[in-house]
Structure 1
Amino acid sequence: MDSDDDIEQVSTRGRPVGDREAKRKELLRAASTVIAQEGYANASLRKVAKHAGYTTGAVTYYFANKEELVVALMESAFDRFDAMLESARETGDILAPFESWIRLTDRSTRFWPATSELLAQGRHEPAFAEVIARRYARYRRLLAAIVKDAQERGTVRNDIPADILTDQLVAMGDGWMMLYPIEPKRFTPKRMRALIDALAVLIAPVPGEPKPGGRAARA
């Protein structure tokens, strides 16, 4: 159990004491867990506060309302996606983001269930839709650049334009994420490994296709 020093204290003026950024991240983790376990509709600020061991007032010090909290949670999720892509850009390993993506199915994390819940809310909440559209556009743009670089090195098939191949890769990842909360037993470590191996085959250079510097890939 957390000690008194680990639990946020609130002064009489409502201002929490301690590292603001650390406590904000802690509340986002609590929100992710509550949403994953109970769904978006049932996730209240009170439940998030209780899970984190804080008062509801402490939560509203950082997030004025549920919408603001969820928008921050979405931004945080996309920050993780961007970090995965940065790793792939540095190493040149196009499968690296998907390896990291798959590891998020670990039973100790609620990332996939919570994120799939929030993406579904984009149909009904304009503020969520704006975040999803803006951050997904950035994610696709970054991944397409990595795919294009790999095509130019000859490590990824170049018979499909980078932006189209990127859309297909993103759709596969999203599909896994959406199904995992519904069929968690199907996504065993062995099966997830098989999915990554199959992905490697799907994006591998096609035998006989033009090499980098040769005839341009067809549009």
Structure 2
Amino acid sequence: MPKTNASPPGGEPVAQRGRPAGDHAAKRAEILKAAASVIAEDGYAKASLRKVAERAGYTTGAVTYYFANKEELVTALAESRFDRYDAMLEPARAKADIKLLYEQWLAMTTGDPEYWPVMSQLLTHARYEPALASIIEQRYARYHRLHTKILEAGQAQGTIRDDIPADLLADQLAAMGDGWMMMFPFEPERFDPSRVEALIDAVLTLIAPIPGTSGS
């Protein structure tokens, strides 16, 4: 039974909002999933807390328990997206395995048609929302550092060309991956399994050691 304040004269007891029942992390994840769905379908501007609550099957009050306002919700959504990048990098970092990294990147791209539509809108609106911009800047910098370390390890092992600095290769490869994510929602037929394999082979060819250099 909810806690109540003393009843005002002639009025009903005023309920105080308590913590919603259930698993906190699971409910946050459900709300973030609903927010991504609304943004992907209706656009960032129309992704109100009320719409997100309806999509998740919650009341607006339940959503505001976890996220006080839209700014908190979208920054948490951006964080969750970069968490997926970090999870994608980890196994590749352990083995300095660029092929594995891009297999996972393309699997994420083709396995989640909402991924890039949501990220592209978050990136666009970050220009006008400092809190969101700060999260994206920090998390992308972390991603770039880890990506660079994977490439540096490959260069040290002689499996990746070393005539181009690893941080520049990281920028170029990330731009290619972003391009795949951008195009997949519009041209999914370009990403059938055989072509995905060909794209990965092309990446490996581009970063392979050049004959006659120290990395060959």
- Shorter chain as denominator, the TM-score bin is 0.7 to 0.9
CA shift for structure 1 position 108: 5.2
1:135 has 2:139 as partner? yes
1:198 and 2:216 matched: no
User: What residue is the counterpart of 1:88 in the other structure?
Assistant: 92
| Conservation of the 8 A alpha-carbon contact between 2:155 and 2:161 | yes
Contact 2:40-2:114 at 8 Å conserved across structures: yes
* Shift in Å, 1:185: 4.1
**What corresponds to 1:30 in structure 2?**
34
1:18 aligns with 22
Shift of 1:195: 1.6
**Which residue does the alignment assign to 2:175?**
171
Q: What is the identity percentage for the equivalent residue pairs of Structure 1 and Structure 2?
A: 59
Q: Hey, which bits of structure 1, 4+ residues long, moved more than 6 A?
A: none
1:121 partner letter: H
Q: Distance in 2 between matches of 1:146 and 1:20?
A: 35
Q: What is the CA distance between 1:25 and its match in structure 2?
A: 1.0
Q: CA deviation at 1:150?
A: 0.5
RMSD across aligned positions (CA): 2.0
Q: Which ranges in structure 2 are unaligned for 5 or more consecutive residues? A: 4-14
Question: Aligned pair in 2 of structure 1 residues 107, 84: CA closer, same or farther (>3 Å)?
Answer: closer
Q: Which moved more, 1:132-141 or 1:108-117?
A: 108-117
User: C-alpha separation between the residues in 1 aligned to 2:144 and 2:170?
Assistant: 7
Distance across 2 between alignment mates of 1:137 and 1:145: 12
Change in 2 beyond 3 A, CA 1:199/1:108: closer
2:124 counterpart of 1:126: no
Give 1:47 deviation, angstroms: 1.4
1:7-26 CA-partner distances (Å, limit 9, x unpaired): xxx99533311111111111
**Aligned 8 A contact 2:38 2:47 in 1:** yes
Give the stretch that moved more between structures: 165-174 or 88-97.
88-97
Report what 2:72 is aligned to: 68
Task: Compare 141-150 and 43-52 and name the one that shifted more.
Answer: 43-52
User: Number of paired residues?
Assistant: 203
What TM-score does the superposition give when structure 1 sets the normalisation length? 0.85
1:97–1:160: structure 2 CA closer, same or farther, 3 Å change rule?
Answer: same
Residue deviations 1:100-130 (CA, integer Å, cap 9, x gap):
1111234555222211221222222222211
1:144/1:163 contact within 8 Å kept: yes
